[in-house]
Structure 1
Amino acid sequence: MGIDQRTSSHGETEGVRHSGRYAPRMSETHDVVTADGRILRVHDSGELPAGAGTVVWHTGSPQTGALLTPVLEACAARGLRLVSYGRPGYGGSTANLRRNVASAAPDVEAIVDALGIRHFFSVGASGGGPHALACAALLPDRVTGVATLAGIAPFTDEYDWFAGMQAPSALRAALVSPEAREEFAKVDDFDPECFLPVDYDTLREEWASLGEDSGRAGAAGSRGLIDDDVAFVAPWGFDLGRVTAPAIVAQGGLDRVVPASHGIWLHDHVPGSEFWERPDAGHISILRLLPEVLDRLVEWA
């Protein structure tokens, strides 16, 4: 495994290797090569003088993995280093066909090893939530706290998993087969009713970079999104009961993409987790809780 250094669009400088460790001077974009030869496109804010720790941010679906302004600002304000990456099939990362949710753990381990990071907070939004939990369950010696915001729960028949979803057709197709999900991608279109007015306000204001990045990811193709959906409805490859790090499950009560029932289920199955429900929040507006979530993680650490 190793790093192929690249220059990003906002003037980052090159990093320096010391004894096999990679020490970034400024925010950088670079490639990490996995043991099986895949490329993971990584975005790194670089270490800050405060040195409060590192956040590995697991993006929603679809996203390129680029650093989002509100996440970067929230981390910087707390002296936290921010690392994000394109999941396989997104943002320059090599597709990993038939990956499951658990596949995120060895990928993230390769990234933090390459960057010389020992411990980190694992935080995910929406489709990133399951992958954040995978790291907490499968890398327990490295994850010091985990949080999901509007994170989807594993598929189960313990309750009506699709109830409350405005547009569940993509996930229903994924449940039939990967091939059915690929066929659905040919006609898939975003339903604007998935978001509440407060979600659109959030996208126009502090989380505008999320909408812009999602547009870039969608324009690049549907491979990553298809593989995410197939992974969500298939067995995840790990037991949530193995999460031992302090955990937060944050959920909007009016979410039409990932209904509140998913957050409740996750809270019930992630040991010792705190449930942060905001009854009037939707799928995007719940992200406004991120600064408070990071404060809580730092407090625990």
Structure 2
Amino acid sequence: MNPETMLQVHDVELCVQTAGNPADPAILLIHGAATSMIWWEDELCERLGAAGRFVIRYDQRDTGRSTNDPAGHPAYDMADLAQDAIGILDALRIDQAHVVGRSMSGGTALILAVDHPERVETVTFMATSPGDPGLPPPTPELMKAFEHDAPDPADHTAWVDHMVRVIRAFWGGSPFFDEGRVRALAELDASRTRDLRSTDNHFAIETPGPVGGGLGDVSMPALVVHGDLDPVFPLAHAFALRDALPAAELVVLEQTGHELPAERWGEFVDALVSHTDRKPA
């Protein structure tokens, strides 16, 4: 991984990190709600870089080292998050990127694909949903993990313990859950985040859709990647999302929940590299 860089994008400061050769096709990785870029793990990014891709990951607002708003008072919405992504591409002098939106950030990826198609070569929706009524809700086991409020971040140990418990629930019973690995990432996240209380701002923001249409208006090649054990968006969400897109491929990761285990990195990298080699019809 290259060193982290702080970029001034519009009126916010965003922490960005890259891997690979800048001359290679760019992949912009956008993580989900309340989660910093480190959950796109280093080795995963390096594997994509070794496969001939220039990988960009970044802390969205209110995560990691990027600008944070006061807890409970986010002064932005999902359209602003999409503009942040464009600002990063501008700062790195990248005309087009392969955009990957994970979980909540599937909405950001959709805004980019529909409203800014000139900047998006392909789009990937990972562990996300079209949001259609009637799709299965999160599992009871996942909801149980949120029955108790998070502890005061000043109690570092209690905060990390809480995060590990919550993230375990997001794995949806996957046999690949590695508590030591998750705890190390939670420790790192806690140590590098400006204000842990502000990470929950992502759950309070407005999530407007694209101005120029919806899923049916995505004009570039699309990929849907989903775990078969996802407790947040059960697998029916992935099929509905694929069917709502004009021409999308679906990759289902077996024994995988909402998170991406190391045991599935090879399959994910292969799928993403193949997808980003596709040309528009």
**Structure 2 stretches of 5 or more lacking a match?**
153-158
> Which residue is equivalent to 1:85?
58
Q: Between Structure 1 and Structure 2, how many residues are aligned? A: 254
> Which residue is equivalent to 1:143?
120
TM-score calculated relative to the size of structure 2:
0.76
Q: Quick one: distance in 2 between partners of 1:199 and 1:60?
A: 20
TM-score calculated relative to the size of structure 1:
0.71
Q: Which residue identity is paired with 1:273?
A: A
Q: Which residue identity is paired with 1:237?
A: G
User: The residue matched to 2:252 in structure 1 has which SS?
Assistant: strand
> Which residue is equivalent to 2:155?
none
CA contact (8 A) 1:121 1:297 kept: no
Q: Which residue identity is paired with 1:47?
A: N
1:40 aligns with 2:17: no
RMSD across aligned C-alpha pairs, in angstroms? 3.1
Equivalent residues in 2 for 1:128-167, closer than 5 Å: 128-151=105-128, 153=129, 155-156=131-132, 158-164=133-139, 166-167=141-142
Evaluate the alpha carbon distance shift between residue 84 and residue 273 of structure 1 in structure 2; reply closer, same or farther with a 3 A threshold: same
Q: Quick one: distance in 2 between partners of 1:265 and 1:197?
A: 23
Evaluate the alpha carbon distance shift between residue 223 and residue 129 of structure 1 in structure 2; reply closer, same or farther with a 3 A threshold: farther
Q: Which residue identity is paired with 2:275?
A: L
Q: Percent identity?
A: 22
How far apart are residue 185 of structure 1 and its match?
A: 4.8
2:76 to 99, 114, 117: 99
Equivalent residues in 2 for 1:1-301, closer than 5 Å: 27-35=2-10, 37-45=11-19, 47-48=21-22, 51-66=23-38, 68-95=41-68, 97-151=74-128, 153=129, 155-156=131-132, 158-164=133-139, 166-168=141-143, 184-185=149-150, 189=162, 190-191=165-166, 192-195=168-171, 196-201=173-178, 208=181, 212-218=184-190, 220=193, 221-231=195-205, 234-238=206-210, 239-285=214-260, 288=265, 289-301=267-279
Q: Quick one: distance in 2 between partners of 1:129 and 1:165?
A: 23
CA contact (8 A) 1:253 1:282 kept: yes
CA contact (8 A) 2:26 2:54 kept: yes
Q: Which residue identity is paired with 2:15?
A: R
CA contact (8 A) 2:34 2:62 kept: no
Q: Deviation string for 1:88-113 (max 9, x for gaps)?
A: 01111113515333322210111111
CA contact (8 A) 1:56 1:120 kept: yes
Q: Quick one: distance in 2 between partners of 1:81 and 1:73?
A: 9
Q: Quick one: distance in 1 between partners of 2:190 and 2:217?
A: 33
How far apart are residue 120 of structure 1 and its match?
A: 0.7
Q: Which residue identity is paired with 2:57?
A: S
User: The residue matched to 1:263 in structure 2 has which SS?
Assistant: helix
**Structure 1 stretches of 5 or more lacking a match?**
1-9, 11-26, 174-182
How far apart are residue 169 of structure 1 and its match?
A: 7.0
Q: Quick one: distance in 2 between partners of 1:291 and 1:81?
A: 13
